[in-house]
Amino acid sequence: MIEVLQSIIALIVTLSILVTIHEYGHYWVARLCNVHVLRFSVGFGKPLFVKRGVLPRSVHGDKGCSSQVRDKDSLKATEFVVAAIPLGGFVKMLDEREGFVPEHQKHLAFNNKTVLQRIAIVSAGPLANFLLAIIAYWMLFLVGVTGIIPKLGEVDPESRAGYAGIQSGDEIVAVDGHAVRTWADVNLRLFERLSESGSIVISVKEGSDFAKDHVIPINHWLKGIEEPQPTRALGLQLSYPIIPAVIGDVVVGGRAAKAGLKTGDRIAYANNKKIDSWTEWVHMIQRSPEQTMILSVLRDDQFLELLVVPEEKEIEGEILGFIGVSRVSVPFPKEMQTRITYPVHLALWAAVERTWDITKFTLVSIKKMIMGAISPKNISGPITIAQLANATAQSGLESFIGFLALLSISLGVLNLLPIPVLDGGHLLYYFFELITGKPVPERIQLWGLQLGMFLIISIMFLAFYNDLTRL
């Protein structure tokens, strides 16, 4: 229950930051264009907190007082609202399409601004999200980012990497010509190649300063796989320290939970075989789908005998056993970690590059998903976001800021998609107007609104469904 509450709080904090930044982008540029903002809301539904702001410049006299008569048609100052449902937000502007606007206020209405001004106001929200990501990465690169050196552990000679000549102890320095410094960099570059054909070039250092290229052929690589694991699919794994077979989290309703395994249990023996490490324990589970295993478990200085039957799952065409547990968190040794720092100016450029890389990766992933190359099972909703937000927050400020930057980029990209009701849909209309000199007919806009709402609701339901299946 405590973990659930922590996840909810982490979700609210994370979304509130991202939504506030996004909506403030709209608000700030709207003010620059002298558009009156009626309400700036973080969240939907019943207002929990309301604060009045200021009136637009053009309705103030020389002494800062309203020059207009205070009657029923007088402008009201902007309302800044925190609402009950923290799953989004909005900026409501004065607009003749949404209600009557007196003649003396029409110059403050959004719909009466030039098409370029409307484009600037609408695009400011997603751009604010990208700016947040750049600033976040800049801060991280200034103080230093901790990563795991991509030095390889055991390489199966029968795996793709093994056939390519990659060996245990090699350190990956580049993927497809892109330099990598951490294991996270390796994963990002491999994820970019999902569903593609051709070859992946892995450059490694083999105990010297000279890198050697290893070519791994691929053909529609991991196309349609629900939860792809690129490094594992190639046979690449980190050189982990020996981790004891101690149970961390136990999935509710999983085979381990049904067998009576609990957090903190240490697996001493499995089928009368001594278990010396977590890796050994995992391999044994994976090789025993739907087979009863006799476990000797050390709990509170006492040995217990439990029976567990690993669930059969097909992963990348291979039948493996799973019981629904994770290991306890064990920090990597200092010699396996690297800290990446930059001077001020280089940190900013590195932050821009990282933001661009993640943006490009997100766009390519969306394209592949639409084409069926990547499974829609990879779409995540608020439950997964809450879990990740909580996990990163507990890992430390560095992890949380990195996650915030990643999520901010995703929000920016999502809002720029040319789907009506999203910022990208509005921009599509305005660019049409810019080119043709005529606005999109209201009938077409209405159809687009209905289609956009259908698409967004469908995606939300899919995201929730995926979240629930992961629980």
Residues recognised as catalytic: 23
- Tokens for 53, please give them: 């702001």
Cα–chain center distance at 71: 48
Q: How far apart are CA 448 and CA 60, in angstroms?
A: 39
- In the chain, % helix, strand, coil (3-state, to 5) comes to 45, 25, 30
CA nearest to 174, candidates 219, 205, 132, 152: 205
What are the φ/ψ torsions at residue 274 (nearest 5 degrees)?
Answer: -65, 130
State residue 270 phi and psi, 5-degree precision. Answer: -135, 120
The H or E element spanning position 233 is helix 230-234
E strands, 222-287, are 247-250, 266-270, 273-274
DSSP string, 48-115: EEEEE----GGGB-TTSSB-S--STTS--PPEEEEEEEEEEEEEEE--GGGS---GGGGGG-GGGS-H
Residue 323 is given by DSSP the state -
Query: What type of residue sits at position 18?
Result: L
State how far the Cα of 136 lies from the Cα of 324, in Å rounded to an integer.
34
* Degrees, nearest 5: CA angle 40-42-47: 85
Distance CA 36, CA 57 (A): 9
Other Cβ atoms within 10 Å of 412 Cβ, number: 26
Query: Among 331, 452, 416, 435, which residue's Cα sits nearest to residue 115?
Result: 435
Q: For 411, phi and psi rounded to 5 degrees? A: -65, -40
Residue 214's nearest CA partner among 259, 176, 263 is 176
